[in-house]
Amino acid sequence: MNTSWTTVVPLSTPPWSIIIAHMTREDPQIKLRLPAELKDVLTDAAQENGRSLNAEVVKRLEESVEAGPHGRPVQVDPYTLDLFAEKVGQVLDARDKRRKKP
């Protein structure tokens, strides 16, 4: 039996996710004030996801930080992207034709 505590983590996993899995009571703590309704929603979500309230809040903060300052990037399917590229090409062609006219 392998008793190693080594965990394989995908390369796309942010470094703080690895650290959070090993959080202890000695890690920094903050006091946080939030509306009771929000706490209730987070508590319910934590239970649904099999996490503590703290782990749920940390997970959601991680996702927010990963998304960057402007939120999650928009996901565009390849078909829509092709249509967009085609339209941009048509607009650029039309512009070039207008510029070439004397």
pLDDT of 3 above 50: no
Query: In 55-92, which positions are buried (b, 16+ CB within 10 angstroms) versus exposed (e)?
Result: ebbbbeeeeeeeeeeeeeeeeeeeeeeeeeeeeeeeee
Which tens digit of pLDDT belongs to each residue from 41-100?
Answer: 999 999 999 999 998 998 888 888 877 777 766 677 888 888 989 999 999 988 888 888
| Domain locations in the chain as residue ranges | 15-100
- pLDDT for res 99: 87
CATH of domain 15-100: 1.10.1220
Torsion over CA: 18, 23, 27, 31 (sign): positive
pTM for the full model? 0.49
